[in-house]
Amino acid sequence: MSAPLTERAKMLAGDWYCCLDPEIEALRQTAFDAVHEHNTLHPAARQGAGPKLAALLGTFAPNALIEGQFHCTYGFNIHMETEAFMNVGCVVLDSARVEIGARSMLGPNVQIYCADHHRDPVKRGQLIERALPVRIGADVWIGGGAIILPGVSIGDRAIVGAGSVVTKDVPADAKVAGNPARVIG
């Protein structure tokens, strides 16, 4: 008989898990330390990302850049390809894998959420959630203040209008805007 999965293993597998867990909390604290260093470094010293944050990220390709006042939950689930860019104030709640393709640009205050809370109010009150990945293709432009919800994929070369709430997948080359985001033009 195999041992039961840890809450971290359930999180990484996309299963329902309890986010109030000592191992998961330790991972969050490591990320918070790296984010604090990143956000308090002088921009010239930070370069693409602060040293602790760059080391923590799952992938941080050459010439990728994360501006200050950034926040993430774990860091190791974030994968940024060549020349990917996050402007000031981006928030990535990366309980699952987040891929940001080459040359994709995220405007100020873009938010990416992977946590999907339980629909049952009792389980939600017990902090039961699951983690759904987010994929942003290459050459994507996401306008400031947009929110990308759990499980969404955005195709290559797509444009997401500022302030949009993206609840569903966006096809390659599409332009979407609104709340919820819909194909425009």
Sheet architecture: strand order including 17-18: 17-18, 128-131, 115-117
> Is 38 annotated as catalytic?
no
Which phi and psi angles does 28 have, rounded to 5°? -65, -40
Within 8 A by CB and 6+ apart from 6, the residues are 21, 23
Q: Is 62 exposed, middle or buried (0-12, 13-18, 19+ CB in 10 A)?
A: exposed
Q: Which two tokens stand for residue 136?
A: 């942003």
- The torsion angles phi and psi of 26, rounded to 5 degrees, stand at -65, -40
Q: Which of 36, 71, 117, 118 is catalytic?
A: 117
Cβ(106)–Cβ(87) below 8 Å: yes
Q: Which of 136, 115, 139, 145 is nearest to 127 (CA)?
A: 115
Catalytic positions: 117
